[in-house]
Amino acid sequence: MTEGKVQVSIGRTSGSKEYIHIIITDEDSRTRIVEVEMLLEEFAKCITGLSVCDIPATFGKLSLVGKKMEVKTLQLPLDYNNLDKFEEVVKPFEVDGWVADKQDGINHHYLSKSGYQVHFRRWV
């Protein structure tokens, strides 16, 4: 059995309606298992057993649940002027299940004199 986390928060819409936001995450894979958002009234009915509510839910990559996420960071020869070559530069490092975080290619905070810091992830 794998460990997990449940996050429950409350928010307000622009129309001042309150809603509950629930996220359940697998600890090992750091995968979001399910995300649910419902009005406060619907949440109250659900937890008190007074009603069954059909609430839409968004499911994550369930095939990753129970696997362990590994992360590595590499400094790659990219500069701000050739970010269009990001895919080409990271491709040789995407082996054995490692996948580059594509957001790193547009995040200027990862830029240094020696190149771009790129994070890679895989699940084993």
Question: Is CATH 2.160.20 what the domain over 4-64 is classified as, yes or no?
Answer: no
Span 36-58, mean pLDDT? 88
pLDDT at site 67 = 93
How far CA 71 is from CA of 85, 122, 124, in Å, comes to 22, 7, 11
Residue scoring higher pLDDT (69 or 80): 69
Q: What is the CA radius of gyration of the chain?
A: 20
Residues 72-123 pLDDT 10s: 999 988 766 666 788 888 999 999 999 999 888 777 787 777 788 899 999 9
Check pLDDT > 80 for residue 57: yes
Residue scoring higher pLDDT (77 or 6): 6
Are 31 and 66 in contact, with CB atoms under 8 Å apart?
A: no
pLDDT at site 100 = 93
| Coil/strand/helix, residue 16 | coil
Each domain of the chain, given as residue ranges in start order, spans: 4-64, 69-123
Q: pTM of the entire structure?
A: 0.71
Per the listing, tokens 């794998």 go with 2
| Least confident piece of the model among 4-13, 28-37, 54-63, 108-117 | 108-117
pLDDT at site 33 = 94
